[in-house]
Amino acid sequence: MSTNPSIPTSKKIDKSLPIVEKYKRYVSQSQAFKYFPIVIAKAKNSRIWDLDGNEYIDFLASAASYNIGHSNDAVVKAVKEHLDKFIHYCLYLYHEPVAELSELLVKITPGDYEKKVIIGLSGGDANDTALKAALAYTRRPRIASFTYSYHGTTALGIAVGGSFDPDLRSTIPFHNVYFLEYPDTYRCVNNIDDPVQCGEEYLSMIDTFFKKKYAGESFAAMIIEPVQGDGGVLVPPENFMRGVRRITQEYGMVLIDDEVQTGMGRTGKLFAIEHFNITPDVIVLGKALGGGMPVSAVVGRREIVESTPPQSFFATSAAHASSVAGAIAAVKYVLENKLHEVAAEKGRYLARRLGELKEKYEVVGDVRGLGLMLGVDVVRDKKSKQPDRTLALKIIWRAWEKGLIMMTYGKYGNVLRIAPPLTIPYEDMDRAVEIIDESIKDAVEGRVPDTVVNYMTAWK
């Protein structure tokens, strides 16, 4: 039994709680985004153990970072070997891993044009770099982004982040960002059911925006996630994405494809943009690129990523040699094991298994996604599609108690986020579906206390 009465669980977490308390005392709440009192002690492939010895299946994979599994042997070996040579030296000297990773990324990313690479530390800093490069390249003042988007937490990242509280956004003195509607085929505007028609509807709103409201020629860039993760796993129709490419070309805007969450095989293709048969001007990578090490990359048209002077996007620890050595091992692991194809196959299986829950429960409104980037939309009932965030939180709480790590996100905070390592065994997926099934039942039948909702800091 938990010794802390404020945590409504009978799970044994006594060793973890003092660490949780220290966080409360010393770590800024601006970094506190905790769903459960799990203090991680060990992780391997799709499993995690906490300080109390509890074992979990990981459906979160550190926010879709561990595509190749936790503590992947190839990455651990590459980093250890590099650490034995030297840890890192800032960008005043050359090192082999950066040259190798840049060459690799130029070769494997879509775009049959001359490309160059800027390596950073996080997805957010890479998006920031891509946006600054686009502003400098075009010398135009405006940026187009999308409602409920997430691109990181640098100043520009907050400015373009459609999922942030507008009050927080207003504190950033860059007000030239305009938010376009990201297509939602489950709750499409004007209740349109047909995805193609739905895509056309959103596209025509964008067309009108640039023709009638703000001249398309005044925009430096449009930044878009090819599947909107934090918006709630929204997969745009292909015609929408093709239209976005046409519009950005028409007005000479840089199309920035934020693949921080979708990249490195997660959606069943190496890069999610490949589902739509379009080529962006810049691709941004992070998370899974490093295989767990802090590495990000902006891969783009040479003239865009070289539009600023040397040292414009320079950080002492950026392109960190040992981390980049890990990233090379991670990218090779994805390629050699064709993990994108594995993700497509496992994703089909898992979507089918989750679809069984949709048949079984009135509160499962939609199961959607691509590859192993899936979302389960929890609703009051199928007909109204009214989002039920409270129920979703109760489901993940009970799932945690039963040994599954899964969080909620989405524009209404009601979508179960499913993003396990692409290397997850089928048995783990089956057990996880069983846990979700039992947890939905418990939550629907009132066996999860309302107070759990107050405990979690969760997406709204």
Ligand X SMILES: Cc1ncc(COP(=O)(O)O)c(C=O)c1O
Residues near ligand X (CB under 6 A):
63, 122-124, 127, 150-152, 225, 229, 258, 260-261, 286-287
Query: Minimum distance between the CB of residue 264 and ligand X, rounded to whole angstroms?
Result: 13
Residue 369 region by backbone torsions, left for phi larger than 0, else alpha for psi between -120 and 50, else beta: left
Rounded to whole angstroms, the Cα distance separating 67 from 62 reads: 10
Between 130 and 203, CB nearer to ligand X: 130
Contacts of 244 (CB under 8 A, 6+ apart): 203, 206, 222, 224, 255, 278
Between 152 and 300, CB nearer to ligand X: 152
Between 157 and 387, CB nearer to ligand X: 157
Rounded to whole angstroms, the Cα distance separating 344 from 243 reads: 25
Residue 246 region by backbone torsions, left for phi larger than 0, else alpha for psi between -120 and 50, else beta: alpha
Identify the residue whose tokens are 């973890």: 16
Query: Minimum distance between the CB of residue 287 and ligand X, rounded to whole angstroms?
Result: 6
Between 152 and 216, CB nearer to ligand X: 152
Query: Minimum distance between the CB of residue 10 and ligand X, rounded to whole angstroms?
Result: 32
3-state secondary structure of 406: coil
Between 82 and 287, CB nearer to ligand X: 287
Rounded to whole angstroms, the Cα distance separating 13 from 36 reads: 10
Query: Minimum distance between the CB of residue 64 and ligand X, rounded to whole angstroms?
Result: 7
> Quick one: tokens of 110?
């879509």
Identify the residue whose tokens are 């069984």: 356
Between 123 and 195, CB nearer to ligand X: 123
Rounded to whole angstroms, the Cα distance separating 98 from 76 reads: 18
Angle between helices 426-444 and 339-360 (to 10 degrees): 30
DSSP result, 336-350: HTTHHHHHHHHHHHH
| Strands (DSSP E) found in 260-363 | 282-285, 296-301
Identify the residue whose tokens are 């990218």: 331
C-alpha closest to that of 127 among 161, 102, 94, 103:
161
Between 151 and 394, CB nearer to ligand X: 151
C-alpha closest to that of 254 among 201, 202, 199, 303:
303
C-alpha closest to that of 405 among 18, 6, 54:
54
Between 150 and 182, CB nearer to ligand X: 150
Between 216 and 294, CB nearer to ligand X: 294
Query: Minimum distance between the CB of residue 327 and ligand X, rounded to whole angstroms?
Result: 13
Length of the chain: 460
Between 62 and 197, CB nearer to ligand X: 62
C-alpha closest to that of 444 among 373, 390, 370, 404:
390
The vertex-223 CA angle with 339 and 369, nearest 5°, equals 40
Query: Minimum distance between the CB of residue 259 and ligand X, rounded to whole angstroms?
Result: 8
Residue nearest to ligand X (CB): 123
